[in-house]
Structure formats: structure tokens, C-alpha cells
Amino acid sequence: MRQFKIVFLFELKRFISAKSYWIITGILMLLLIVSISFPRMRGFFEELFNTSSDITDRETQTSILLVNGTEGLLSKKQRKVLQYVWGRTFPESRVELIDGSEDMCRHEVNSGNADCAFFFINTSSYTYYVKTLEMTDRRTSRADEALKKYQVMIVLQDADVKEEAIDEIVETEITHVTINLGTDQQKNFFYAYIMVMILYMVIIYYGQSIMTGVAFEKSSKAMELLVTSVDPTSMIFGKILAASASSLLQISLTACSAVLSYRLNGNLWREGSLVNTVMNMPGWIFRYMLLFFLLGFILYAFLYGAAGSTVTKMEETGQASLPITTILIAGLFVSLFSMTENSMDSLLFRACSYFPFTSPMVMFSRIAMSEVSEYQIAVSVAILIVSVILIGIISAKIYRAGVLVYGKRLTIRTMLTAVFFSK
Amino acid sequence: MFLEIKNVYKSYGTKEVLKGISFETGSGTALGILGRNGAGKTTIIRILMNVFAADRGEILIDGEPVDYRTVSFGYLPEERGLYPKRTIIEQLVYFAELKGMTRKEAVKAVEYWLRRMELSDQGNRKLETLSKGNQQKIQFITALTHDPDIIVLDEPFSGLDPVNAGVLKEIVREQIEEGKIVIFSSHQMNYVEEFCDRIAIIHQGVISITGDLYTIKREYLRNKLVIRSKDIEQIRSIYKDNTEKMGSHELQFTVPANEKAQDVMVRIINEFEIDEIRVYEPSLNDIFIEYTSEQDDKEGEGAA
């Protein structure tokens, strides 16, 4: 325990006295402060350049072309109704109805005269022309609604229903309230996504750092003195926990800067925005996030430490870390795929939520995005804790065997012999 | 304290590096482990330092198997290396603390040793900024700060200039006088000869000779004299069958089988003007060459 403490403090100092550590922390803090202050900064710049959003809106008002390709099938009344519903559906745009062909649609959109064009050959189907289909483009679903409205209006008008009654039928605003009694997948998707991405990045960054640290000690030959001065378990636990502590410090500082910036700018973000959602993370999600983050990080850190001891040259670290990085990326993919495909309860996903190398990402995603019983969480955490301890001990043995093999890579056979037969 | 290495075997894969090594030494004694490249010197030192275990054999202190928690070792490995980017004091204190000292004791001891090595003003510098010789002195300090019972030095003087070697020699001598067991591995025979009361020559994984250096030397036939005189040519003209010129004023004289060396010495002193006359003793270098080349030389480039 005493040796562990000495190694821990020495290694912690190694991490936090590095210039790069503070530069990265500073950049991360600055990035978050700036991102969260974005609405304030936008207001500031608009004021500075004396631009108002009205002008901007007018200048950017889009124009929509309704191109009638029915060759005279539309009556005057029908044309009027079509123009009317389209104008109501796209109030932010200038809507113009003209007769023409598909070539005309192409030409008008390509030349920039219109932002988009809807080409009709009858009143129940259309072709949508747009130059760049943006990710957030919802015009076709709005157009579908508009076309339905059009059909209803025509039928009602033909049935001599009064215009006020028709308006009432088609223009009634529907409101709704959702009361979610279970998990809010929409919101929690962000939490799961953020946790998975941060864990992945932190493991990659610190894992490499731990690995090169060990490999450097080995290549600088400090190792021989170390192994005769300290027992390998204290050594590797001290190293790994020091790396964990310094990563936690870095993340805490970054998070503090985010919280501070949010305190000042939180009211400027609209309800339901990503920033508001993340900053108002429920306490229970945060606690699980912290638990799985720490256990996952430490587990992988041990593996990187052991891998570092198997190389003899710094150039070999990439090759030695490949198997670990592959498992990590597999966990990342399984998590992201299941999150986006909404297959939280598939067998693969459930199995991965117990497998220690993927459970930190996968079990957390499951907790955040679906219903998981406390008993299942407890089993997953227990497996993870036992694995951390076991992997720690195994890593210490590999480390012990690896650090003194110079000139050639540690073979799998030597590694296994060290794990199973060394005292 | 009495240290015994008993019948130690070690193989790397199929290659047997040590084939039953045994030697012993006690407090206040320096033992020199000698051998050609790949003979197994570093392997036996690593086994002694518990870097890895022997396949067979024992290491005993006062007749009991060594307990690494109670017997303290100081070690200067052949593969030198510390932390180039950390300050000198920081890493010396780190190693001393790992060896069981409190922080306060460690700082005090480190300051003392830096003073002794004439490096007091360098303590807060990063190791990489020091010259190679000074880095070696820092490495040497790691072996001494915790006041160990047994000091193991693998090639301690390699790469040092004569002044730095002198500082280190003085410290090694002090440690021997303080009753420490000093174990030395070196190719530099003059240093071994200077310090070591006992030697163990390893050749192809076995001890080819071990024991008290003085006794080993005395066991050689004492039938040769070394004579230094301005009358070298005169002596040679009279005793031409018995002499061999060694330098412009020095020759080697082989005592005839029917005479005693002392009688010949008296006679020559009486007959000529002699600056120096002594019984020729083989140097350690001669002994080393004799014990490491007369046998079959099929050693590989092992990890020793």
C-alpha cells in the first residue's frame, strides 16, 4: 500500500506536470465556454454589425415554385385552392403557381430562381425538385399534408359546405401533451451518445499515454531498477489509478468551465436545445455515467499498461495496442448502432451489456435508453468490478514478464506462462 | 552477514545460461564477478537481485534463504536508465522512498549523496540536461541512498573519466570499510584488482575459478622474477638462457629448478645495481585470459 501511494503520487505528478496536459485542458475548457456562450456571442456580433434578424429573414426568404404539369386539367377554383393551401403550409416562403414542364423545374431550381419546385401531373402525386437536399429538409412531409388538405377542401367545396366551416375543419390547430412514464429515449440518446464518445476518446488518449509511459520506461531501461524496488502490482495499480485521477481532474475542470459558462448563458438557449438537455442531466444518469466511465476507463488502462510492457521499441506501441483498440471500437459500434437503430433489447446488445469490455458503453446506453432492472445493473457492475481486479492482477504479471524482455516482442506463450505460473 | 550462491541453474528457452553456479562472500568484502561477454554475469546478478528466479539453486544469507523484505540491496544495473524528463532530486527521492525510506530521510540522504558526488547545484535540473558521466553518478546514487547491506554494481566504471571514476572508487572503498558486501561485475580488470578481495570467474555458465584473489595468485608457480635495472644487458649476457626482455630496463628471470627464488634474488642484488626485484605474480588479466580461453569457446550472444 505504501509503495502504491508513492508510485501513484510520482505518476500523477508525471501526468499533471506535462505542458500538453494543461494545453489540452485549456483548449477543451475554452471550446466549451465558447460553445455554450454562442447565443450571447451571436447577439453581440449582430449588435456590432447592426444587423437585425428581420432583414436577414427577408433576404433569406425562400421561394417555392408550384409547377402545374396537368396540361389544363386544373380548374381555376382548384388552382386557387392549391395556391391557398401551399401558402398556408409554407408561410415563411414565397409560393408561386405556374404552368410548365419538368425541364422548367430543373432549370428554375438550378439557376437559383427558385429554392425548390413541386411538379404536379395530377393532384395526388408530385415530384419534388431541390438543389441540395438538406438533412433537416421536411418540405415533402409538409407538402403531403398540404395536398391532403387540398383534397378535403375540394371535396367539401363540391359538397357546398360553407367556406367558414371548411376553414374550421382544415385549419383547426391540434395540440397534444406527452406524459412519459418510462424512459425518455429522445433526451437520453444524447446522454448515452455523449458518455460513449467521451469514454472512447478518453480511453484512446490516456490509454496511449499510459502505454507510451510504460514503453518509455522500458526503452529508457529505468525498468530494471524499478522491478527490483517495487512489486509489480503496486507499480501498475499506482500507474493506472494515477492516470485515472488525472483524466478525472481534466474532465472535472472542463465540466466546471461548462457549468460556469452555462450559469451565465443558460437562459439564452431555447428549451429543448442540446445544451439545455445536456446541462440538465438527471442526477441518476450522471451517477451511472460516472460509475461506468471510471470502471471502463480503469479496465482499458490496465490493458494498455500491460501492452506497453510487451513492446521493446516505441514504434511497436501501435501494433501492440491494436487488439485493445479493436475491442474498444467494437463496443463503440455496438452501442452507437443499437442506439440509432433503437434495438436496445436485442440479444447482442443485452449480451454486450454484461461483457466487461463492452459493458461500460453498452450497459450505460441501455440504462439511459430503455428499461433495465436494478438487478441486471448490479450483475453488470459486479462483473465489471471483478474483471477490473482480475485484469489488474493479470496485467501486473504480464507487465512483470514483459518489462525485462529486451530485443524481441513478448510472445503469447511467455505471457500465458507468466499469467498462470508466476508467483 | 554471509552471502552464498548455491548451485544456481538458469535457462532461456533451450539455452542453458547458468549450469550450477556457486560462490560466496561476506561483509566488508568486495567480490568481483568476471567473465567474457555472454558468460552469464548479468544473469546471475539479476537472479541475485530477484529480477527473475533461478530454475534451480539457492541464495542464502547466513545460511537462510534470502528474504528480500528484510535484507536491503543497492543495485546499479548494467542497463542504465532513469527518467530523463524528471528532476534529479525528484527521482532519487522516489527510488529511496520505494526502498522504504520516509520522505524526510530520503531527501536528507539524497542531499548528502549529491554533495558527495559534487552535484549539489544540479539537483533541480532535469536528468537529460546532465553529461553522461554525471548521469551515471546519479544512477550510482540510487544504489546507495537507502544505505543497503548488499551493493551490486554491474560495470560501475564503464564510461567514466578518471576523475569521476576516482570519486566513485573512494565511495566504493568506504562502503567496503563500512562492512557492506559489494559485488562487482566488470571487464575492467584493473578496477576489480584494486577493490576485490575475492573473485569468481564465470565461463560458459560455470564457475571456472573462485576464491581469495591473493591466494589464487600465490597458487601460481613462483619461479619467475621481475628485475628492473640499468644493467639489463649485462644480466642478459650472463644469464641468457633464463632471461626474457620485457622493456628497455626490465626483464623477466626464470629461476632454475634446482634453485630457490630468494637465493637468486640475493645473488643478483649483490652482483648488479638493481632498482627493483620481485617475484612475478600473474595479473588478474593473465588469470582471466587463462581461465576464459583455455576451454572450448562456443558461447552465443545470449541475454546475459
Q: Which CATH superfamily is domain B1-71+149-220+281-304 in?
A: P-loop containing nucleotide triphosphate hydrolases (3.40.50.300)
**Whats the size of chain A, residue-wise?**
423
Question: What pLDDT shows up at residue B114?
Answer: 93
- A395 to chain B, minimum CA–CA distance in Å? 17
Please say whether the beta carbons of A352 and A334 come within 8 A. yes
List all residues 6 or more positions away from B283 whose beta carbon is below 8 Å from its beta carbon.
B189, B193
Q: How far is CA B266 from CA A308, B163, B262, in A?
A: 71, 41, 6
**pLDDT of chain A, 423 residues: tens digit per residue:** 888 999 999 999 988 888 888 999 999 999 999 988 888 888 888 777 765 555 444 446 788 888 888 877 788 888 888 888 888 888 888 899 988 889 999 999 999 889 999 998 888 889 999 988 888 788 999 999 889 989 998 899 888 888 888 888 887 878 888 777 766 777 777 778 888 888 888 888 888 888 888 888 777 777 778 888 888 888 888 988 898 888 889 989 998 999 999 888 878 887 767 788 778 888 888 888 889 988 998 999 888 988 888 887 777 888 888 889 998 898 888 888 877 776 777 888 888 889 999 888 888 888 888 888 889 999 999 999 999 999 888 888 887 777 666 555 667 766 677 666 665
Question: What pLDDT shows up at residue A173?
Answer: 78
Please say whether the beta carbons of A204 and A302 come within 8 A. no
Report domain extents, chain B: 1-71+149-220+281-304, 222-278
Please say whether the beta carbons of B34 and B200 come within 8 A. yes
Kindly determine whether residue A225 and residue B95, on different chains, have CB atoms separated by under 8 Å: yes
Q: Which residues on chain B are in Cβ contact (under 8 Å) with A407?
A: 303
Question: To probe the interface with B, which of A21, A224, A421 has the most B CB atoms within 10 Å?
Answer: A224
Kindly determine whether residue B95 and residue A229, on different chains, have CB atoms separated by under 8 Å: yes
- In angstroms, the CA B59 to CA B150 distance is 13
Of B49, B75, B84, the CB nearest to A220: B84
* Nearest residue of chain B to residue A408 (CA atoms): B303
Question: What pLDDT shows up at residue B298?
Answer: 42
- B172 to chain A, minimum CA–CA distance in Å? 19
- In angstroms, the CA A9 to CA B103 distance is 12
Q: Which residues on chain B are in Cβ contact (under 8 Å) with A226?
A: 98
For chain B, list residues whose CB is within 8 angstroms of any CB belonging to chain A. Answer: 46, 49-52, 73, 75, 77, 79-84, 86, 90, 94-95, 97-99, 142, 303
The CATH number of the domain covering residues in B222-278: 3.30.70
Q: Which residues on chain A are in Cβ contact (under 8 Å) with B150?
A: none
> Count of alpha carbons within 13 Å of A37, Cβ hemisphere only?
13
| Residues of A (163-192) whose Cβ lies below 8 Å from B | none
Q: Fill in the amino acid letter for A87.
A: G
List all residues 6 or more positions away from B274 whose beta carbon is below 8 Å from its beta carbon.
B227, B228, B229, B231, B268
Q: Which residues on chain B are in Cβ contact (under 8 Å) with A227?
A: 51
DSSP 8-class letter at B50: T
Q: How far is CA A358 from CA A213, A295, B17, B165, in A?
A: 25, 11, 45, 57
Please say whether the beta carbons of A332 and A361 come within 8 A. yes
DSSP 8-class letter at A78: H
Q: Which helix (H) or strand (E) holds A93?
A: strand A93-99
Cα–Cα nearest to A219, from A10, A410, A406 = A406
Provide CATH 3.40.190 ranges for chain A: 62-171
Of A221, A227, A230, the CB nearest to B51: A227
3-state helix, strand and coil shares in percent for chain A, rounded to the nearest 5: 70, 5, 25
Q: Can you read off the three cell numbers belonging to residue A246?
A: 488525472
Read off the pLDDT of residues A41-58 as tens digits, 9 standing for 90 and up: 888 887 777 655 554 444
Kindly determine whether residue B82 and residue A224, on different chains, have CB atoms separated by under 8 Å: no
E strands, chain B, in order: 2-12, 15-26, 30-35, 56-61, 64-65, 73-76, 150-154, 181-185, 198-203, 206-212, 224-229, 243-247, 250-254, 274-279
Q: What is the arithmetic mean of pLDDT over B13-28?
A: 88
Kindly determine whether residue B75 and residue A225, on different chains, have CB atoms separated by under 8 Å: yes
E strands, A300-357, in order: none
Question: What pLDDT shows up at residue B90?
Answer: 92
Q: Which residues on chain B are in Cβ contact (under 8 Å) with A406?
A: 79, 303
Read off the pLDDT of residues B92-121 as tens digits, 9 standing for 90 and up: 999 999 988 999 999 999 999 999 988 888
Q: Is domain A62-171 given the CATH code 2.40.50 in the classification?
A: no
pLDDT band (50, 70, 90) for residue B304: very low
* Nearest residue of chain B to residue A231 (CA atoms): B98
E strands, A326-408, in order: none
Radius of gyration of chain A (CA): 31
Give bridge partners of residue B183 from the DSSP assignment: B31, B152
